[in-house]
Amino acid sequence: MSTTNSYAEEAAQRWPVEYVESNLKLKSMSKEDQQKLFKLGSDNIKDIADAFVLQKAADSVDVQKLVKIHYNWVSVFWTPTKDAYIGLGAMYVTDERFTQNYDKYAPGCAVFMAQAMNVYAQENLSN
């Protein structure tokens, strides 16, 4: 079994409704649009890491603009509530697979991202 398949199986078990919704949205997109979407996500992570390296505060206007892009990117797949978005940020820290995705650009970036997501959720989202 490939790693991608094991991630998909895990997501389907942990978040069955969101998993189906996400897959339907992704399958409705052209391959070109999928590639653009994933590039946007990667670029956003790099931009957030750059802000972290520049020691911008998690609650700064610049960082919160980047987190809004992240939230909108996530919302292409599923629309997280305040608690869900905070939980996603926490998972970036507690699940090493996610931590590596941020910390490969700057060690500690996953914690920074979780903090910034928490600020964004508290100020902009509801349950």
Q: What is the CATH number of the domain that holds 78?
A: 1.10.490.50
pLDDT score recorded for residue 7:
63
Q: In 3D, which of 37, 113, 25 has the Cα closest to residue 121?
A: 113
Whether residue 72 lies inside any domain: the answer is: yes
Question: In terms of residue numbers, what domain contains 92?
Answer: 30-124
Which two tokens mark 120? 């964004």
Whether residue 8 lies inside any domain: the answer is: no
What is d(CA 50, CA 4) in angstroms, rounded to the nearest whole number? 28
Q: In 3D, which of 28, 7, 115 has the Cα closest to residue 66?
A: 115
Q: Is 114 left (phi over 0), alpha (psi -120 to 50) or beta?
A: alpha
Average pLDDT, rounded, for the chain: 90
pLDDT score recorded for residue 10:
75
Structural domain count of the chain? 1
Whether residue 20 lies inside any domain: the answer is: no
pLDDT score recorded for residue 4:
52
Mean pLDDT on 51-63: 98
Whether residue 9 lies inside any domain: the answer is: no
Whether residue 3 lies inside any domain: the answer is: no
* pTM exceeding the 0.75 threshold for the entire prediction: yes
pLDDT, one tens digit per residue, over 13-50 is 877 777 788 888 888 899 999 999 999 999 999 999 99
